[in-house]
Structure 1
Amino acid sequence: MKKKLIAISVLGTCVATAHAESSVTIYGIYDAGLRYVHEANAAGENSLSMGSNGTSTPNRLGFRGVEDLGGGMNAHFNLETGWNSGTGALESTTGSPITGNRALFQRLAIVGITHERWGTIDLGQNYSVGWRTGYDYDPFNYRYPTIDPVSAVVPGSSVTQATAGVRFHNDMQYTGVFGPFTVRAEHSFGGVAGAISTNSATAGSLAYKSGPLVIAGSYTSRKIATTGGIFTGATALAGPPAVAGEPAVNANTPTYADRSWSAGAAYKFGPVRVSSGYNDERLEGALNSVVAGLPLTPAQGDTRVRVGWFGANWDVTPFVNLAGGWFRTLVDTPIAPAAGAASGTSGKKDLLMFAGTYLLSKTTYLYAEFDRTTLSGNQVIGYGTKTTQRHPLGVSAGLVVAF
């Protein structure tokens, strides 16, 4: 009996020790507020709404776990979901931009292993390398993600769908920190039988961080399937229409390449941080199809989007922060003049943003934001053919609580 009690005691100690070396954290952010937009759509009408996934910062509920494996290694996981502030509906009501399926943990779903010397490998749905790198030189550090174009035009997404480059499915990502240098690399598997590269993505980045200085850059390459020459985000059901002089393309063959690069820097002078960056993305042959009844050559289907920006962030007091930024977006889609199409997206968009936050506590703050956009050519806010949009203006205010 005495031996049994000793064995039970030892077993209990081992279980307690194992439990002490593992931890699970529940965390979240809730952002609710109002946003007014003048010239909110192609008709030039105004809007006032609360319904968003978070204006200043996206709503999220997450579960993060870490287990110490010994020898400087740990295993970890991170699951994160989001929701709409106005309705409580899941953020992914329209489905994944890649698979078309709705997801519970659409924001983040990764599992991985970290070695204190050699770095981290994560598997699952993850923020892309381009997204993680651009954060360091965005004036707003990805706050106001639906307004600030940097968080939406990270490599691999500016001309397609916003979330297609922010996160990648089936992603294998490496992160290593070696002194002042941070190295990242990833490959997102397309998962298409018979066409391994279809809907895949490959990226790499390098960042140098020393004291107040950050210099970083990334490169992303994607191979995307299309249906009728129009990107759907999913495996094509049928190849695009045949174009004279070009070989036939089957349903599971990538019909265009998306290549993009981004670079930027930031420097902090005491309470003031200044930053600047540039993103250049090209889709080659993305619209190699028939538009307005006229066939296009591959070059006429190319699309290019360039975004440049600079801004500053100022901690006025321990409780007050002010930020501002200027962003220029240049879109070149020769499809419109080449095919005689009545609509297109070629043009220029200049955005000026100002924002302020006031801390009520370490986890709660109030925010206010103002933005004004100047449009030219066929650039619009949202979707549709521009009619009266010229100078859209937005004002936002709300409350953020973190837990």
Structure 2
Amino acid sequence: MLQGFIHIIEYALYIYLSVSVVYIAIFSVASHFFKQKKYPETDILQRFVVFIPAYKEDTVIHACVTSALCQTYPAELYDVVVISDHMQPEINALLRKERITLIELQEKESSKAKALRIATEQVKDQVYDYAVILDADNLISHHYLHELNKIASQGIKAIQTHRKAKNMNTDTAILDAAIEEMNNSIFRRGHIRLGFSSALIGSGMAFDFRWFAQNIIHAYSAGEDKELEELLLRQGIHIEYIDTLDTLDEKVQQPAAMRNQRRRWIATQLFLAFKMGSNLPSALLNRNGDYLLKTLQAFIPPRSILLGLIGIFSFVLSIFAPLSSIKWWILFILLNISLYIAIPSTMRHKYVGKIIRQSPYFIVAMIVNLFHLKGMARKFTHTQHG
């Protein structure tokens, strides 16, 4: 009786984890057939507002603002709004000398969502076509808004650019960069290639301004990008991905910082999974494929946890039930191959040794994080730089 129950539990887990691995494998392979759509030059010029939420970002904000201001795009057609929260007075004084709008906050409970809500409320009466969201540690090229304008002029309401690492100075930063590129392959290039929406990633995003002003008021969690993504997909709005337009992002450099960051992300994913699960009936009724796929994605464990769980089951069953372990080892190998090919070839060849060395610690840390998620979905955690 007990043995039969254990077999049922094992097969139930195997089916759940198999669905997760097959999902990753399909979109990882699809990403290799992705072709970036080319957008033509246009005489239509959109008016942009660039929001830069900055919580205790004194050391990095100037570089970000400089890159945002040094655009080839006409200066009269875009404004830069920095939302300074708990930054030093001398830094704010320097920022006031720049061609920007500075909004100063001293919130008791800070969050990126709150900063964006406040900033949008202050500028919503101005005439903007698109809102661009950058993190304070991001850097963008001089032609960034010029390229965004070509895409926005096609009537696309939501755009995610290619966010990639600007620093690879520690083993942790390399691992963080590799994970981000895996996600770019699976959840962006792969999704677009098979006709679905791209996932959002928190910065390097652009939205139709009217839509953004109407919907940012509904974002309250620490994962405001995922809340916006859910709203877009529920409303049937496609999210485009632009792989050729880079948003450089600072990667975490210490294991502890990465562990804390991922703990918040896991909590946000769980929050989103339950929220989207409750909306499944209407998505099914409306045949909203994007929303259904995103709901399935929300229930897929993070890749590191998948690796840990499947690896543990494979090893334990090899000792106690060798025949049953075969299917688990096949799943484990498929997952590893899928993640490996999702990393860009240049990064694989140069950093694969460091990625592999860092992975065991990261997998253990992510599994431990599962037991420390309480309240994290609504808790803002500042990422330390340097």
Shared fold per TM-score greater than 0.5: no
Q: State the TM-score, normalizing by the size of structure 2.
A: 0.26
TM-score (norm 1): 0.25
> Which structure has greater strand proportion?
1
Greater relative contact order: 1 or 2 (C-alpha under 8 angstroms, separation 6 or more)?
Answer: 2
- Which of structures 1 and 2 has the bigger CA Rg? 1
